[in-house]
Amino acid sequence: MNRPTDMAVDAPRACFIAAGLDVLGERWALLALREMSLGVHRFDQIARNTGASRDILVGRLRTLESQGVIERVQYSERPPRYEYHLTASGAEVAPILISLAAWSSTWMRDETPRASYRHSCGADLKPVVSCADCGEEFTPGSLVLGPLVSAAGADPASDQ
C-alpha cells in the first residue's frame, strides 16, 4: 500500500557480519580468544597477556561462554577455580584471527616489532582464502550478498 517514499526508514543491514561482531566484536573478546588458541587458559594470564582490565575481562568471558564460544572448566575444587577453553565454535574463530594477523602484518605501517604468526608447517603466515565449492580464491569484491537465512546454529548441548 505504501511505496518508495512512505515509511520504512531503511533499517541497518541485518547480516551475518554484523551478528558475528555482536559476539566477537566487543573490546578484548578476540584477544581473549587468541590467548586460548595459544594455549593460555587461566584468568590471570589472559588478563596479563591481553592487557584487559580484570572486571571487563570477566564480563567478556561470561558473554563468550553464554554464546557457546568458550566454556569454563573446573580445575580445582577447593578453592573452586576454573579455566577457559574454546568450544568447537571458539576453535573456528581461528580463520578470523589468521586473516586479521595476515592483514595486519601486510598493512601496518609503523616500525614497531610485534609477534608474528606462522602456519604450523613453519612458513610465514600467508593464508589463501578460497571457495569450498568452486575452488577459486576469494578476491576483493567476490563476496556478494545472498538471501535472508537463519544461521545453522550449532546446538547448545554439543560441547566437546
Contact 73, 87 (CB under 8 A): no
DSSP label of 35: H
Q: Which residues contact 73 (CB under 8 A, 6 or more apart)?
A: 41, 82, 83, 84, 85
Q: With binding defined as CB under 8 A, does residue 60 bind a copy of itself?
A: no
Minimal CA–CA distance to 56: which of 24, 89, 29?
Answer: 29
Q: Which is nearer to a copy of itself, 27 or 81 (CB)?
A: 27
| Long-range Cβ pairs for the range 144-149 (8 Å, 24+) | 145/15
Determine how many CB atoms are found less than 10 A away from the CB of residue 53.
12
Using CB under 8 A, pick the residue from 32, 43, 50, 61 that binds a copy of itself: 50
Nearer CB in complex with DNA: 57/102: 57
**Residues numbered 2-41 forming contacts with a copy of itself, rule: CB under 8 A:** 2, 4-5, 7, 9-21, 23-25, 27, 30-31, 34-35, 37-40
CB nearer DNA, residue 27 or residue 114:
27
Of residues 70-99, which lie at the interface with DNA (CB under 7 A)? Answer: 72, 78-79, 81-83
- In the complex, the residues that contact DNA under the rule CB under 7 A are 26-28, 42-45, 52-56, 58-59, 61, 72, 78-79, 81-83
